[in-house]
Amino acid sequence: MTPLERRCRWLLRAYPAWYRRDRAWEMLDTLLEASQPGQSWPSLRDARALVTGGLRLRGWTWSLSMLWVVAGIVSTGYTFYLTTRPYTWADYDVGIGIQGWSTDPVAVQTAIVLATVASLALPLPALIAGFIRLRGSRPRRWPRIAAWAGAWIAGFALTYQATVWGNYPCSATAENCPAIPSPAVVSWGELGICAAWVALGAAMTWILAGPAHRWDGPGASRRPSAKPAAGRPVP
């Protein structure tokens, strides 16, 4: 397998599994045929088209949920990083707690603000979008709808737990917290929550697996006589 083929296969993972089963080999063939001899990376145009095509097929619901998951990963990861830093009373802001914001690079601060906004704004739309999406798939899959509600509650619980573990023992006033340990008490629990978010992302992907609308593509309507993908791993 050439490096180009390996990278094309990796890019094709942007498409959902049900679609790849039907189309991946064919698309790989076209991608390789369209490439220049000696080319080892897929072109930027191709990469962009594959990613947008994949996202379009996976649908809004999946994209929203994954944004929520990424926001969860970023904010818990950052909270973990915060607890690894030594801090002093000068870093302590009554009512808010320890913040590392002002001393971090602007890009990091922006990412944190975006992640915070996303994790506040996305859960409800994601929940509703998921119900609408699963309602639309026939026959109705009640176990999946229940699983979706469960995943949402799990995400909510993770967000809550992240704030609890990320809080310093004294978040209300400085008086009831005479000594701040320095270096800080590292909150390994936050890393666990990060891992849980990754798992939750995989679970949500599984729950939403399958076409958002009825699929009338080439493999769906008629079974081709020659089936090259049979018994072979999907790229």
For other proteins, the binding residues (CB under 8 A) are 23, 25-31, 33-34, 43, 45-46, 48-54, 56, 136, 213-214, 216-218, 222, 224-226, 228-229
Torsion of CA 13, 19, 20, 21, to 10 degrees: 150
**CA–CA gap between residue 162 and residue 167 (Å, rounded):** 8
Torsion of CA 91, 97, 100, 106, to 10 degrees: -120
Look at phi and psi of residue 92 and say left if phi exceeds 0, alpha if psi is from -120 to 50, else beta: beta
Q: 51 or 157: whose CB is closer to other proteins?
A: 51
Task: Quote the tokens at residue 134.
Answer: 């699963």
Minimum gap (Å) between residue 134 Cβ and other proteins: 13
Q: 53 or 189: whose CB is closer to other proteins?
A: 53
Q: 150 or 217: whose CB is closer to other proteins?
A: 217
Rounded to 5 degrees, φ, ψ at 155 are -60, -40
Minimum gap (Å) between residue 121 Cβ and other proteins: 21
Antiparallel, parallel or unpaired: β 92-93 and 97-98: antiparallel
**CA–CA gap between residue 154 and residue 157 (Å, rounded):** 5
Q: 96 or 222: whose CB is closer to other proteins?
A: 222
Minimum gap (Å) between residue 63 Cβ and other proteins: 14
Neighbouring C-beta atoms of residue 54, cutoff 10 Å: 18
**CA–CA gap between residue 9 and residue 24 (Å, rounded):** 8
Minimum gap (Å) between residue 4 Cβ and other proteins: 13
User: What's the alpha-carbon Rg for the chain, to the nearest Å?
Assistant: 23
Q: 8 or 158: whose CB is closer to other proteins?
A: 8
Q: 8 or 66: whose CB is closer to other proteins?
A: 8
Minimum gap (Å) between residue 146 Cβ and other proteins: 22
Minimum gap (Å) between residue 64 Cβ and other proteins: 14
